[in-house]
Structure 1
Amino acid sequence: MGWWVDLAQAFLLAFSALFSIVNPLSGALIFSQLTAGRTHAERLALAKRIGTYAAAVMLGSLWFGVYLLNFFGITVAALRIAGGFVVAAAGWQMLYVPEQREERKEAQAGEAMHEDDVAFFPLTMPMTTGPGTISVAIALGSNRPAGGAGISAFLAGSSLAALAIAGSIWFSYHFADRVVALLGRTRTQIVSRLAAFLLLCVGVQITLNGLMEALHDAGLGASAP
C-alpha cells in the first residue's frame, strides 16, 4: 500500500508543477493563432506530434537531467536548492506577469512559423515545453528518493504525470478552437494564476527538501524524504 501512496504523491507533485509551467490551455490560445492559416487536418497532425515531442522532452529531463548535472560534480542537495529556486521564481513571475511570458512565447514561436516542419521547433520548443519546463522537470527529478522501493514509485508517478501532461497538450491543441471559445483569454489567465501559485509552492517545497539534505550531509539535521 505504501508504494501506491508514494506513486500517488509523486504523480500529484509532478503533475501540478508541470501543468503549471506548461499550461496547455494558454498554449492552445497561441497554437490556435499561429496555425490559423493551416488546414484542419494539418492542425490535428501537428497537435499529435507536439504531444509526442513534449512527452519526450519532459521524460528525458525527468530521467536523465539529474545524472547529467551530477556528472559535473553538482550534488543532489545543491540541485534541489537551485532547482527549487528556479521553480519558485518561475511561479512568482507567472503569478504577477503571466501576460508578458505568454507574449514572449508567442513572439518567439511566430518568428519561425515559416519553416516547413514546425512541430518540434517552434511549436514544441520553445512554445510548449521550453527551458522553463526542462528546468522544472530536472528539479522534480532531483527530488527523487535516494533508493529502494521509493525511487521506483517516484519514477513511475512522475513519468505518468509527464505522460498525462503530454496528453493534455494533445487534447488542448486538438480542440484548440473549442478551448478558445469556451475559456477565452480572461478565464485562461485566471487558471494560469492559480497554477502559478501551485508552482510557487512546489518550488518552495523542493528548496526545503534541498536544505534538509544539506543539513543532513553536514550532520545537523534529519534527511529529506
Structure 2
Amino acid sequence: MLHLSSFMAHFILVIAALIPILNPLGQAPIFMSMTSRYSADERAILARKVGMYGFFLLLVSMFIGIYVLEFFGVSLAIVRVGGGLLVATAGWQLMSSDPSHSVLVSSDERLSEEQLRQRAFFPLTFPISVGPGSITVAITLGASFKRSGLDTVLIPLASVLAVAVASFLLYWCYRNADRLLKLMGETGTIIFLRLSAFILLCLGIQIFWNGISELMAEFLIQHWPK
C-alpha cells in the first residue's frame, strides 16, 4: 500500500508539473493556425506525430537530460535563453502573418510523409508544444528523483505513465482543434489566434529573460562575491 501511494503521488506530481506548462488546450489554436492550409487528414497525422514526439522528448529530457547537458557543459539557463528566442520568434511570425494563410505551407503545396514528419517535430513539437519551459521542468523532475528499493521501478513507471497521459492530452486537443475553434466562429477564431500568438511571443520573452537573469546572477556571484 505504501508503494502504491508513492506511485500515485509521483504520478500526480509529474502530471501537475507538466500539464500547466504544456497547456494543450491553450496551444490548440496555435497548432490550428500553423496548419490551417493542411487537409484534415494531414492535421490528424501531424497531431498524432506531435503527441508521439512530445512523449519521447519529455522522457529523454526527464531521464537523461541532465547528463546530456553536463556532458556538453550547457546549463539550464542557456537552454532557457536559446529556447526562449525560438518561441518568441515563432510567436512573432504568427502575429505578423496573414491569418488566411498558413505560415508553413502554401495553398498549392502538398507535403510528403517525410516532410510531415520533419514539420511535426520542428516547429510544431519543438519549440511550440514541448518548449524550453516543459523541457526544463522534465529535467528538474528527473534530477530530483530519489529511488531506492521497489521505487527504483515504480518511480520511472509512474513518470512514463504521467508523460503518456500528458502527451495524449496534447494529441487530443490538437486533433480536435478545428472543432474547438468552430465554436467561436470565424471572427472569434482570428481574434483568439492573434491573442494566442501574442501570448506565445510573451512566453518566449519571459523564458529568455529568466535565462538571462540566471546567467547574470551567476556572473555577479562569481565576480562580485559577498
Q: Into which bin does the TM-score normalised by the smaller protein fall?
A: 0.5 to 0.7
On the 8 A contact 1:18/1:133 being kept in 2, the answer is yes
Question: What CA distance in whole angstroms lies between the structure 1 residues aligned with 2:145 and 2:6?
Answer: 11
On the 8 A contact 2:51/2:170 being kept in 1, the answer is yes
Question: What CA distance in whole angstroms lies between the structure 1 residues aligned with 2:27 and 2:152?
Answer: 32
Pair 8,181 (structure 1): closer, same or farther in 2 beyond 3 Å: farther
Pair 181,143 (structure 1): closer, same or farther in 2 beyond 3 Å: farther
Q: What is the root-mean-square deviation in Å for CA atoms of aligned residues? A: 3.6
Q: How does 1:1-225 map to 2 (within 5 A)?
A: 1-69=1-69, 105-107=90-92, 113-114=104-105, 116-117=115-116, 118-181=119-182, 185=192
**Distance apart, 1:71 and its partner CA:** 5.1
Question: What CA distance in whole angstroms lies between the structure 2 residues aligned with 1:157 and 1:140?
Answer: 12
Structure 1 runs (4+) deviating above 6 angstroms are: 109-112
TM-score w.r.t. the length of structure 1 is 0.63
Q: Return 5+ residue gaps in structure 2 as ranges.
A: 81-85, 106-110, 200-226
Pair 122,5 (structure 1): closer, same or farther in 2 beyond 3 Å: same
Aligned residues: 170
On the 8 A contact 2:87/2:127 being kept in 1, the answer is no
TM-score w.r.t. the length of structure 2 is 0.63
On the 8 A contact 1:29/1:176 being kept in 2, the answer is yes
Pair 43,11 (structure 1): closer, same or farther in 2 beyond 3 Å: same
Question: What CA distance in whole angstroms lies between the structure 1 residues aligned with 2:168 and 2:136?
Answer: 20
Pair 69,151 (structure 1): closer, same or farther in 2 beyond 3 Å: farther
On the 8 A contact 1:108/1:127 being kept in 2, the answer is no
Q: Return 5+ residue gaps in structure 1 as ranges.
A: 88-100, 193-225
On the 8 A contact 1:43/1:174 being kept in 2, the answer is yes
Larger mean CA deviation between 7-16 and 63-72 belongs to 63-72
**Distance apart, 1:113 and its partner CA:** 2.0
Question: What CA distance in whole angstroms lies between the structure 1 residues aligned with 2:167 and 2:46?
Answer: 13
**Distance apart, 1:29 and its partner CA:** 0.9
Question: What CA distance in whole angstroms lies between the structure 1 residues aligned with 2:181 and 2:9?
Answer: 32
Question: What CA distance in whole angstroms lies between the structure 1 residues aligned with 2:153 and 2:130?
Answer: 25
- State the partner residue of 1:97: none
Question: What CA distance in whole angstroms lies between the structure 2 residues aligned with 1:67 and 1:123?
Answer: 26
Question: What CA distance in whole angstroms lies between the structure 1 residues aligned with 2:29 and 2:62?
Answer: 27
Q: Kindly, what percent of the aligned residue pairs are identical?
A: 32
